């Protein structure tokens, strides 16, 4: 992957003021809840730069990146999670892949997102329309991935993820996927929370968590002000006695390489190679769907010196 340069001075200045992108995992209330908290403003801004996204596209795909990074806190080692939405609205859907190590990549199906009229408010349900959300866990050493899906009911990624965990895993959960933009559309804060109810949690504890979650501060705004999510968790969830478990870096990353794409071009069926030669448009540019990296290849690289 090639990371494209972020050339917006305002973004660079803002990132210099923020703590590094990180994912923290805790238990709360003597093991009754598992909490994953993440700050990832640099990750989402790098994604925006690589794909050249506008405000709306950054908002939609940025939420998906936050969700992917949070979900990957459930797996270990080289395991990864794929979050996919297929829908009938203008965005068409997206696919985001996140590894346990903190690497996240993925793409929107429709860029730019077409709008018949300017959006009113922050409700994205019309952009999603009817659709399905699926989560696939790819566990190293397992013969088959685990995959579950639900029909989207809200057109709100956080609410539909909570619905997925309730229906597919019978686990009440809370998601907060938060992006803060300034008046110019610059992304100045990104992060989120994922709270899972663990076995043995009483109705009283669950009620206490639901009341607390209804009053959570605006996560993206807190991050944009330079607050580390570790401090945020210790402060906001103090009554639930947070117990820190682990920390991991998170970031926009893709394992694609120029060599892999070149090998793919050289292995194309002969009729496709003939079509490339006939078009005679060199260098050939191939783009990675998952990270927006462009790789260029000369005729000699693909076909050898004798062509």
Average pLDDT for 232-259: 96
Q: Could you tell me the residue range of the domain that residue 277 belongs to?
A: 258-303
Average pLDDT for 21-27: 98
Q: Lowest-confidence range among 63-77, 202-216, 262-276, 282-296?
A: 202-216
- Do both 201 and 105 map to the same domain? yes
Helix axes 41-51, 9-16, angle to 10 degrees: 160
What is the domain-level CATH number for residue 291? 3.90.1280
For residues 214 and 199, what is the distance between their CA atoms, to the nearest angstrom? 22
CA distances to 74, 83, 165, 167, 183 from 149, rounded to whole Å, are 17, 10, 10, 9, 36
- Do both 288 and 148 map to the same domain? no
- Do both 218 and 289 map to the same domain? no
CA distances to 92, 94, 120, 147, 277 from 131, rounded to whole Å, are 9, 11, 22, 16, 41
- Do both 289 and 232 map to the same domain? no
The dihedral sign for the CA sequence 147, 150, 154, 155: positive
CA distances to 31, 256, 267, 279, 287 from 264, rounded to whole Å, are 49, 12, 5, 19, 12
pLDDT score of 205: 84
Task: Tell me what percent of the residues of the chain surpass a pLDDT of 70.
Answer: 99
Summarised one tens digit per residue, pLDDT across range 72-127 is: 999 999 999 999 999 999 999 999 999 999 999 999 999 999 988 777 777 888 89
pLDDT score of 209: 87
Task: Report yes or no on 240 lying in a domain.
Answer: yes
Average pLDDT for 19-40: 96
Q: Report residue 259's pLDDT band, with 50, 70 and 90 as the boundaries.
A: very high
Closest among 217, 210, 183 to 195, alpha carbons compared: 210
What is the domain-level CATH number for residue 49? 3.55.30.10
Q: Report residue 306's pLDDT band, with 50, 70 and 90 as the boundaries.
A: low
What is the tally of structural domains in the chain?
2
pLDDT score of 190: 98
CB 79 within 8 A of CB 100: yes
**First CA to last CA distance, the chain:** 29
For residues 273 and 110, what is the distance between their CA atoms, to the nearest angstrom? 28
pLDDT score of 196: 95
Neighbours of 255 (CB within 10 A): 13
Q: Report residue 167's pLDDT band, with 50, 70 and 90 as the boundaries.
A: very high
Task: Report yes or no on 202 lying in a domain.
Answer: yes
């Amino acid at each position: 992957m090639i990371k494209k340069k972020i050339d917006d001075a305002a973004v660079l200045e803002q990132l210099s003021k923020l703590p590094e992108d990180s994912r923290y995992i805790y238990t709360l209330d003597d093991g009754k809840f598992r909490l994953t908290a993440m700050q990832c403003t640099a990750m989402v801004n790098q994604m925006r730069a690589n794909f050249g996204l506008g405000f709306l596209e950054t908002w939609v795909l940025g939420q998906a990146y936050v969700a992917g990074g949070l979900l990957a806190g459930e797996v270990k080692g080289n395991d990864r999670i794929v979050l996919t939405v297929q829908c009938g609205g203008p965005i068409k859907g997206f696919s985001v892949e996140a590894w346990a190590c903190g690497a996240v990549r993925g793409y929107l199906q429709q860029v730019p997102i077409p709008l018949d009229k300017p959006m009113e408010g922050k409700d994205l349900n019309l952009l999603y329309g009817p659709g399905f959300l699926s989560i696939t866990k790819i566990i190293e050493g397992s013969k088959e991935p685990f995959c579950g899906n639900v029909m989207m009911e809200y057109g709100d990624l956080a609410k539909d993820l909570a619905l997925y965990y309730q229906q597919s895993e019978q686990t009440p959960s809370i998601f907060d996927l938060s992006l803060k933009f300034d008046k110019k559309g610059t992304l100045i804060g990104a992060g989120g929370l994922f709270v899972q109810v663990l076995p043995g949690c009483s109705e009283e504890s669950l009620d206490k968590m639901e009341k607390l979650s209804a009053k959570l501060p605006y996560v993206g705004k807190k991050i944009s002000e330079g607050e580390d999510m570790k401090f945020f968790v210790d402060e906001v969830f103090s009554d639930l006695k947070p117990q820190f478990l682990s920390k991991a870096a998170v970031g926009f990353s893709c394992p694609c390489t120029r060599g892999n794409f070149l090998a793919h071009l050289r292995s194309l069926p002969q009729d496709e190679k003939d079509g490339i030669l006939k078009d005679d448009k060199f260098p050939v540019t191939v783009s990675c769907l998952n990270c927006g990296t462009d790789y260029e290849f000369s005729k000699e690289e693909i076909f050898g010196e004798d062509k």
